[in-house]
Each structure stands twice: as structure tokens, then as C-alpha cells.
Amino acid sequence: MSKFQKILHIAELKESWLMAINAIAAHKLRSALTLLGILVGVFSIIVTMTAMKALQRVVENELSQLGANAFQIQKFPAIYVGGPEGFEKYWRRKNIKYPIVHELKQRATMAKSVGAQAWVWQAEAISKYEKTNPNIGLLGVTPEIFEARNWLIEEGRP
């Protein structure tokens, strides 16, 4: 590249730069809206990626609690995709009650532990002191569930 071509190239870059600055100065609102659109787009991508990573961490943590050699028996599927008409067959299944769990514990001779847990949603517990909020779930478990689910108790009541 000759000296003349280098000078011409620098002059073209300078002219392009000045034209861009003049265009931005002449169209302030358009420039501001374009910049705002770019910022919103980048921000939304960052938020989406962060949410996906957080969700992935939660799923991995929940699955790691089960361990490689654990399985669950439950009345309802963990994930159901379909309309309400297909869900009726799960409602018709028998409830898994404690005698069934006890029988499973007796028959599963090679199992390290057999535990049971039961969730109660939207029920109100009433004691002699006060009522509870009906929108809080209650989880009842057998002592073996801690070993089966890899749960550790760090603290009791204060």
C-alpha cells in the first residue's frame, strides 16, 4: 500500500466517522430509541440466560437428592402434559396409604431404606392456639425418608 493510499484510507475513515457523528446529532430521538432497543435486547437475553441457569440448578439439585439408586412410587405423575380430561385416570388410582408402604418395606429386602412422604395442600390446620394459613403446604414423612432422599437435618427448632 502506497503512502497516498494510506492517507486516502485515513481520510475516508475520518469522513465516515464525522458523518456518523453528524447523523447521530441530527437524529437524537432515533439514536436514543435505537440505543434503548439494543440495551433492552441485551438485558432481556442476560435475564433469560440467568433464569435458565437458575432453573437448571434447581432441577439438578432436586434430582441429585434422589441419588442414582432411588426410585419413587406416586399416584400422580411428576409432570403431566395434557388437558384435564386425561388427568381423571390419575384421580381414579388408589391412594398409597401407610399399610401399602409398610408392605413394600417388608418385601423390598434389598432396599437400603423405604420411606414415605405425603403432601397436603390448601388445608387449614387448627390447634388450640391458632389457625394456620390454608395456602401453605404440609409435608408428612416417615423417619426413613431422610436416608432415602439424602436429606440432612442441620438445625431443629430455635
pLDDT tens figures, 17-47: 999 999 989 999 999 999 999 999 999 999 9
- Reported as a pLDDT band with limits 50, 70 and 90, residue 73 is confident
pLDDT at 114 over 70: yes
The pLDDT value given to residue 35: 94
Give the contacts of 119 (CB within 8 A, at least 6 positions apart).
137, 138, 139
The pLDDT value given to residue 149: 75
- Reported as a pLDDT band with limits 50, 70 and 90, residue 94 is confident
In this structure, the strands spanning 117-120 and 138-141 are antiparallel
CA atoms within 13 A on the CB side of 18: 6
CA-nearest of 99, 111, 27 to 67 is 111
The pLDDT value given to residue 67: 63
Mean pLDDT computed over every residue of the chain: 83
* Positive or negative torsion for Cα 78, 94, 127, 149: negative
Longest dimension (CA), the chain: 96
Range of 45-49, 96-100, 116-120, 153-157 with top mean pLDDT: 45-49
Name the residue with higher pLDDT: 82 or 33.
33
- Scored b (16 or more CB within 10 A) or e, 80-96 reads eeeeeeeeeeeeeeeee
Percentage of residues in the chain having pLDDT higher than 90: 28
Instruction: Read off the pLDDT of each residue in 82-94 and give the average, rounded to a whole number.
Output: 80
The pLDDT value given to residue 22: 92
Phi, psi of 118 (to 5 degrees): -140, 130
> Long-range CB contacts (< 8 A, 24+ apart) of 14-18?
none
Give pTM, 2 decimals: 0.45
